[in-house]
Amino acid sequence: AQNCDRVPAKGATSFYEACQSFWFVQMLLQMESSGHSISPGRFDQYMYPYYIKDIESGKMTREQAQELIDCVWVKLNSLNKCRDALSAEGFAGYSMFQNLIVGGQDKDGMDATNDLSYMCISASMHVNLPQPSLSMRVWNGTPHDLLVKAAELTKTGIGLPAYYNDEIIIPALISRGLTLEDARDYCIIGCVEPQKGGKTDGWHDAAFFNMLRPMELVFSNGVEKGVQVGLKTGELSELDTYEKLFDAYKKQMDYAIKLMVNADNAIDAAHAERCPLPYLSSMVDDCISRGKSVQEGGAIYNFTGPQGFGIANIADGLYAMNELVYKTKTVTLQEYADAMRNNFGMPHTDAYAKNLTVDVVKSIVEQGYQINDNQVAEIFMQIKENAIEPAKQKAYQSLLEKIKALPKFGNDIDEVDMYGREAAYTYTKPVEKYTNYRGGKYHAGLYPVSANVPLGLQTGATPDGRLAGTPIADGVSPVAGSDVNGPTAAANSVAKLDHGIASNGTLFNMKFHPSALKGDSGIEGFISLIRAFFDQKGMHMQFNVVSRETLRDAQLHPENYKNLVVRVAGYSALFTTLSRSLQDDIINRTEQGGF
C-alpha cells in the first residue's frame, strides 16, 4: 500500500518501489491501447541503480531482489488481449510480445552486463512462463559466464532467450539516422525489431509481405482470378532467359511493395486522426515539446517496418528454375507452370482443399444453381485427391523429384546461397526508398511472426517444390527439412544474407534435440555456434530445444503438457495453445542432433 501511494507519481526511492512503478506503467500502457509489443526494453540497465543502492545499503538482499523480479515476471504473464480471427493466426499463442533484453553495450561502448542481467535470466528459469519475451544482446565483450547462463536457460526448452548481435544491429541503426549513443542503447520491441527505447515510433509489423506472391503473379502475368491485380510482365514464352524471369519477379515485387506502402500510409494517417495515445506519447521524446502524439510524428525517430518472408523458398525456386529450365533445359517454363498449377501431381491438404471448395461452391451458387451437402462433399474430395491424367501426374511428380534433388539454401553452398541474398534484396532495397506519413523512413524486416502458416494456406504450389497450402519458410531460416548439412552450415548460409539492410529485424529459427546441449561440451558447442554466426554479421538467432517425439506426444495428449513452452517466431508460447497447423510447422523444422 505504501508503494502504491508513492509511485509512479512521486518517483521510486527503492528497488521494491521501482518494481511497483514499472508494473503500473506497463499495465496502464497496455490498458490505453489494448496493443501488444509494449516492451520493457533494457530492464537490467534502468533498474540497476535502485538495485545496487539497496544492496549496498543493506536494505535488501540479493535473494529478496530475485523474488521481486520473479514476481514481476509472473505479473507480466497476467496481461492479455482479445484478437480477431486473422490476428489470432498471424500472432498465434496469446503472446503479448513484451520483449525484455539484457546485456550488450552502454552508450560509451563498454560492456553493460551487471548482476541484474544474470538475475533476469534466473527469473525466466524460475517461473517457466513465456513472458517476458527475454532477449540477450551479444557482442565481442560479452562475458562468457553470461552466455553460459543464457545457454542453460535455452537448454530448458523454453525458447528463451533470443540472441541479438550488437556488431551488426548498431551499425544498421546508425545507417537509419540514429546517433551512435542511441544506437548503442538499442533494445528489442515485440519479436525481433531493434529500436531506441523512449525515442522511437517504429510501427513494426506494419505488414506481412509474402515474397512468394509476386512470383505467383509472374506465372499468371499479373492476373488473379480473372482480375489484373499485378503488372503485365510477359507471357511465359517471352521469359526465355533467367534474367528476364528474375526481372519480371522484381517488377511484380516493386509494384506490390508500392501498394503496400500506400495502404500503410493510409492506416498511419487514420491512426494519427482517430487513435492518438497520449499516455504513451508522454513517455516518448519529443512528443511533448513538439505537441504531437507518436501517431502524429512526435517521436525523435519515426519508422515504418513491414516484414517480408519466404526468402528460402524464393532462393530454392530461382535456383531450380535456372537449372532445370534455362541451363539443362529439362523442362520448359510452361511445363514448370503446369506442374505447379496441378500441385506437382500431389494431393491437396484438407485445409487448402476446403478453401478451394468454398470458392467453387460460391461460383456455382452465384450462377444460380443449387447445391446440396453431398455435392459439396464430393467436390471437396475431388479437389483434395487432385486426380489428373496418369501420364501428366507422373511427369509432374518426376519434376518434383528433380527439384527436391537439387542443392538447397541452408547447406553452405555459395552458388545457392547467393540466390537467397539476391532474393532478399528484391524486397529490402525497394522498401527503404519510401517515406512514411510521419516523415520517417521505411525499413524492411525479414520475419513472419507466425503468418507464414496462414499465408502459406493461401498460396499455391511454388517453384521450389513447396506444395499448395503448406507453410512458407519463416524469416531468414532455410525451408524446414532442407538444411541437411548440420547447424554450422545452416548458420553460414543465413549469414551470407545482408542483415544490415534489414534494420527492422531478421529471424533465424533453429531446433535442437535436447541431447545436443548435454553437458559442458554441449553448452560450449552451442555458444561457439552463436559466436561464429555473429562473427559473420548474422543478426539474430533463437532456438527450440525439444525432441520431435515430445511435441508429437503433446499433440496426442495435450492434458499432459499444459506447461510446455516452445519458441514460435520472435516469441515463445504454450505449445498446446497453438493451432494444429502451427504445431506441425514447429515439429517439421529441422532437428539438429549436435554441433
pLDDT at position 284, please? 97
* pLDDT at position 313 over 90: yes
Helical packing angle, 48-57 and 115-127, nearest 10°? 100
Using alpha carbons, select from 510, 533, 501 the residue that is nearest to residue 424.
Answer: 501
- The rounded distance, in Å, linking the Cα atoms of 233 and 219 is 9
Using alpha carbons, select from 188, 174, 253, 166 the residue that is nearest to residue 216.
Answer: 253
Q: 154: Cβ–Cβ under 8 A, 6 or more apart, which residues?
A: 160, 161, 517, 526, 543, 545
pLDDT tier, 93 (very low <50, low <70, confident <90, very high otherwise): low
- More reliable by pLDDT, 87 or 289: 289
pLDDT at position 271, please? 93
User: Nearest-5° angle of CA 517, CA 476, CA 239?
Assistant: 145
For residues 533-549, average pLDDT: 95
Q: Provide the β-strand partners of residue 232.
A: none
pLDDT tier, 579 (very low <50, low <70, confident <90, very high otherwise): confident
Q: In the predicted model, what is the mean pLDDT of the chain?
A: 94
- The rounded distance, in Å, linking the Cα atoms of 62 and 91 is 36
Residue 32, Cβ density class (10 Å: 0-12 exposed, 13-18 middle, ≥19 buried): middle
Query: How does pLDDT run across 11-54, given as a tens digit for each residue?
Result: 999 999 999 999 999 999 999 988 888 999 999 999 999 999 99
DSSP notation for 44-62: HHHSHHHHHHHHHHTSS-H
What phi-psi label fits residue 225: left (phi over 0), alpha (psi between -120 and 50 degrees) or beta?
Answer: left
Query: How does pLDDT run across 235-269, given as a tens digit for each residue?
Result: 999 999 999 999 999 999 999 999 999 999 999 99
Record the cell numbers describing residue 508, joined without a space: 533465424
How many other C-beta atoms are found inside a 10 Å radius of the C-beta of residue 314?
A: 30
pLDDT tier, 570 (very low <50, low <70, confident <90, very high otherwise): confident
- The answer to whether 165 and 539 have CB atoms below 8 angstroms apart is yes
- The answer to whether 318 and 463 have CB atoms below 8 angstroms apart is yes
The upper half-sphere exposure of residue 93, i.e. CA atoms within 13 Å in the direction of its Cβ, equals 32
The amino acid sitting at 257 is: I
Q: 401: Cβ–Cβ under 8 A, 6 or more apart, which residues?
A: none
Element (H, E) at 133: strand 133-138
Order of strands across the sheet that contains 591-592: 99-103, 133-138, 162-165, 540-545, 509-512, 591-592
The amino acid sitting at 462 is: T
For residues 42-68, average pLDDT: 98
- More reliable by pLDDT, 141 or 37: 141
Record the cell numbers describing residue 220, joined without a space: 499468371
pLDDT at position 85, please? 75
pLDDT tier, 414 (very low <50, low <70, confident <90, very high otherwise): very high
Q: Provide the β-strand partners of residue 201.
A: 302
- The rounded distance, in Å, linking the Cα atoms of 29 and 6 is 19
DSSP notation for 83-148: --HHHHHHTTTS----EEEEESB-TTSSB---HHHHHHHHHHHHH--S-SEEEEEE-TT--HHHHH
Enzyme catalytic residues? 191, 193
Q: What are phi and psi of 581, to 5 degrees?
A: -65, -40
Helical packing angle, 350-366 and 373-385, nearest 10°? 130
- The rounded distance, in Å, linking the Cα atoms of 410 and 408 is 6
pLDDT at position 159, please? 93
Length of the chain: 595
pLDDT at position 34, please? 83
User: Which of these ranges, 135-144, 314-323, 543-552, has the smallest mean pLDDT?
Assistant: 543-552
* pLDDT at position 399 over 80: yes
- The rounded distance, in Å, linking the Cα atoms of 198 and 535 is 29
pLDDT at position 273, please? 94
- Give the predicted TM-score (pTM) of the model: 0.94
Query: How does pLDDT run across 177-202, given as a tens digit for each residue?
Result: 999 999 999 999 999 999 999 999 99
pLDDT at position 231, please? 98
Question: Look-up: residue for cell 482470378?
Answer: 225
What phi-psi label fits residue 224: left (phi over 0), alpha (psi between -120 and 50 degrees) or beta?
Answer: beta
